[in-house]
Amino acid sequence: MDGTNSHSADDAALGFLYQAQYALLRLWSETVDDAVIYLETLDDVTLESNGETVLEQLKHSLSTKPTNLTLTSVSVWKTFKAWIDVLPELDLSKTVLNLVTVADISPTCKLIDLLDDRADRTELLTDLQQEAQRVLYERQEARDKNEKNLPHEPRAKACEAFLNLPQNKQAEILSRVRIKPGQKNIRHIEDELAKKLTSVLSKHRAAIAQLLVEWWNRQIVHAHCGKRPKAIPRFELISQFTQIVADLEHDTLVDHFASELPPGTYSSHPMVGNQIKLVDALAWLERAVTNEWRARKSRSRWATDNPTWRERIAQYDTRLIEEWGYRHEDMSGTCSGLSDDIKKEKGRALLSWSFFDAPRDIEVVAPGVTSPSYVRGTFQTLSIDGRVGWHPDYKVLLGFKK
């Protein structure tokens, strides 16, 4: 269905994706080699660079004209609350606090002072104090009148937390705050990254940006799943960029999915399981499905990135089928008149060869594809339409030969 409802998680999902892609763009724009970035630790995005910690609170919207920021904006007060909550963990003298938003600042609002590091913020501090006091006063007024719904609920805790700070601490926080308004929303982040890839030919920039975003998103998922450290250093990003550029320049195949796992919702073609069940090797099913998915994703990526590679993929399929064919033919010849249990046993041996020996016995499809997963997974892919199989009589038993 195309529609959404009031409980749709789209905004939250886009907000998280925006954090991830903004972090990529932010880290790329750094010039310090030892810069490191984190997502959702002290803040939405936390950058450590040149001895300084930069906390960035991100406010995203797909609106073509988001509402301008003012002193009454919920996003402003929620941002202050987020920073106040982590104050015990910060050395403010070495910290920058950035509110990053796709919205603009109202031209009549003193928040404009947060665009200029040198601007005096005394008046802004007074305005913030007065606004926080107004919010709490109006809530108390409503409370005294026994009103059921108190005003300013989204900002109440933030205003209270701000006023509970000593005035010198309020001023110190404000001295470290910057606003970065008018940022690109998630629709444009990848394009902005492509524009910044000025060290490569313009015709390659969009493709490189796409590959960087895909790699980066995997790193973010792995970081949140505990499969890698949460810290992503700039040198790792630069290394990946260099590898992508080298692959493009040398027109080579790269197995981007060699160590990836299929999503939990992935379901392979039923024939993969049927082929394996035919030789009583159900214990192999999970590894077969994993490698089939990896090979399928690689083949799809290669064919999309460069249609001329389709012929190379097809030629390698033929090579694998040839090597499999020699073994299957010899196996079938020795199975004539034998029991089905023995046939299954020999079929399991052939399946085992496709996993453990074939990746070593057969030359790789390209120098950049050295993981055994592509050979393993391609055999499983080829088994779907019966071009290979494990049981001596699989073509008859599974209906490939009428």
Integer-rounded Cα radius of gyration of the chain:
29
- For residue range 351-398, list pLDDT tens digits in order: 999 999 999 999 999 887 889 999 999 999 999 999 999 999 999 999
pLDDT for residue 243: 81
Strand partners of residue 232: 37
Query: For residue 7, which amino acid is it?
Result: H
pTM assigned to the model: 0.66
Q: How far is CA 332 from CA 36, 193, 377, in A?
A: 58, 56, 23
Cα-Cα end-to-end distance for the chain: 41
Phi-psi region of 339 (alpha: psi -120 to 50; beta: other; left: phi over 0): beta
Cα 336–Cα 348–Cα 395 angle in degrees, nearest 5: 55
Query: Rounded to an integer, what is the distance from CA 381 to the centroid of its chain?
Result: 27
Question: Smallest Cα–Cα separation from 394: which of 361, 356, 348, 353?
Answer: 348
Spell out the SS3 assignment of 10-68.
HHHHHHHHHHHHHHHHHHHHCCCCCCEEEECCCCCEEEEECCEEEEEEEECCCCCCCCC
pLDDT in tens, 214-271: 899 989 998 998 889 999 999 999 998 988 887 776 666 778 888 899 998 899 999 9
pLDDT 10s digits, 73-92: 999 999 999 999 999 999 99
Long-range contacts from 148-151, C-beta under 8 angstroms, 24+ separation:
none
Report phi then psi at 393, rounded to 5: -110, 30
User: Residue 227's pLDDT is what?
Assistant: 87
Q: Token pair of 349, please?
A: 């041996």
Q: pLDDT tens across 163-213, in order?
A: 999 999 999 999 999 999 999 999 999 999 999 999 888 888 998 898 899
**Residue 72, number of CB atoms within 10 A of its CB:** 14
The Cα angle at residue 122 between residues 118 and 123, in degrees rounded to 5: 110
Rounded CA-CA distance 274/288 in Å is 12
Q: State phi, psi for 179 to the nearest 5 degrees.
A: -115, 135
